[in-house]
Copies of this chain bind each other. A is one copy, B any other.
Amino acid sequence: MAPKKTKKERKGPSKGVIKERKQHVLSSLEHLGGQVYDQLAKKEFPTVKMPSRSIANIIYDDKTRQYILGKRNVKRSARNVRHIRPFTQLLWTALFTDELTAQNKTSTLRDVFYSAQAYEMDFQDQQESDNLITDLETVTGFSREDFNVFPEERSAIFGDLTVEYTVPGYEGRTLNLSSHPDGVMIGPALTTSEFVRPDKKKVDKVIAIEKGGLFTRFIEERVHQRFKAVLIHTAGQAPRATRFLLRRLNQELDLPVYIFTDGDPWGMHIAMVIISGSANAAHLRELNTPDAIWGGVWATDIVDYKLPSDPLTDLDVKRLNELEKDPRYAGGLWQREIDTFRKVRKKSEQEAFSRYGLTYIVDEYLPKKLKLKSN
C-alpha cells in the first residue's frame, strides 16, 4: 500500500516530498479503517490481510537488493475468536498512530505500550505492543517513524546542507546543518524536514561514520569542505530514521553515500544494513540505500596499512561464518573481505589510523577511498 514513487520524488526537486508522504501515510490509515467500516456495512466480519513475516516467507530479492516478504499471507478476522484480541489491538494501534500523526506529536514504542492503558487497551507486555506496531507497518507498508513512533537512539548530522522543517512551530524555518560544529541530532524534526537542494560545488557526497570520535575529527579537519561531504554519525548500528535519511539524501539529492566503520564483522554489518536493510524489516522498503559504498575499514586495509589490531574472538569468527552464507554478502568485495578477516584473524578500529598521526585518516586514507565508484 506504500505509494508508488513518482519521478519527481526520485529525482527531486526535493521540496514537498515529506508533505506528500504524510498525506499517503494518513490515507493508508484511513484506508485501513474504511475497509473495516465497509465490511461491517456489508454485515461481514471485518478482516485484515497482510503478508506473513514468518522466516519461511522472508526472501532475498536480487533486484531491490534487500530482504522482502514472499507471497504468503496471514489474515486477522473478527470471526475467529482467537483473532479478536490482536485484531482489536491492531485497530487501536491504527487509531492511536492516526491521532499522533494528525496532531504532529511523536512517541516511542515504550510510550505506545503505556498509552494503551489510557484507552483501557490491554497489552500483556511491551513485546506485544511492539509486535502490533510491526503489524501496522506490514499492513500499510509505512514504517513506524512515518506514524511518529521514533526510537530512543539518536544519531547526528553535520554539513553544508540546508533543511526546511515541517514540524509544528518550525514550519518553513530553515537551518544550515553546519550551524553547530558538534552536529545536530537526527530526531523527528530532522527526519521530516525537506532538503533545500544544495549547490553541487559545495556538497556532492554523504559520508556515514560509525564512531563519534571520528565524526568530530572529520568536522575539525573540515572534511565537509575539503571533500564537499555531508557527515552523518551513525552511533553504531544506524537507527531506522537515519537509514531513511541516508536513502533520501541518496535518492532525492543524487548524492553518493560512503560508509566508514570499524574493521571487524560488526562494522562490516553496520555498512551492510545501510546498503541492503535488515531481515527484521523485510516488510518495509525505503530503509536501505543499495548504491551506498562501504569505504572501510576493510580487512585488506588492516594488512595494507599495517594497522594496530586485536585478534578476532571466537564470536567474531562465528559471525563471519554466518555472514559468508548471507545472500546480502554474495558480492566479490564482501567475500574477499570475509576471507581476509579469517585469514589474518585480526580486527582494527577506525582510531587505529591515529598510529600515523591524528590527521592521517583524513589526509591519506579518506581521499583514496572516496575514489571508489561501487563495492
Contacts and interface: CB of A to CB of B under 8 A. Distances in A.
Interface of A: 104-108, 110-111, 113-115, 117-118, 150, 152-154, 156, 165, 167-170, 175, 179-190, 211-213, 216-217, 220, 222, 308, 349, 351-358
B216 A118 contact: no
A275 B153 CA distance: 25
A85 to B, nearest CB: 20
Copies of this protein in the assembly total: 2
Given A115-B355, A165-B181, A188-B216, 18 more contacts: A106-B217, A107-B213, A111-B213, A111-B358, A114-B351, A115-B357, A118-B356, A154-B212, A167-B181, A168-B220, A170-B181, A179-B180, A180-B189, A180-B190, A181-B189, A182-B185, A183-B184, A185-B185
A113 B349 CA distance: 12
A352 B187 CA distance: 22
Contacts of A355: 114-115, 117-118
B114 A352 contact: yes
Nearest to A186: B182
A279 to B, nearest CB: 26
A172 B358 CA distance: 26
A187 B216 contact: yes
Contacts of A108: 212-213, 351
Contacts of A111: 213, 351, 354, 358
18 contacts: A104-B220, A105-B220, A105-B358, A106-B217, A111-B358, A114-B351, A117-B308, A118-B355, A150-B216, A154-B182, A165-B181, A179-B179, A180-B180, A180-B184, A180-B190, A181-B187, A182-B186, A187-B212
A175 to B, nearest CB: 6
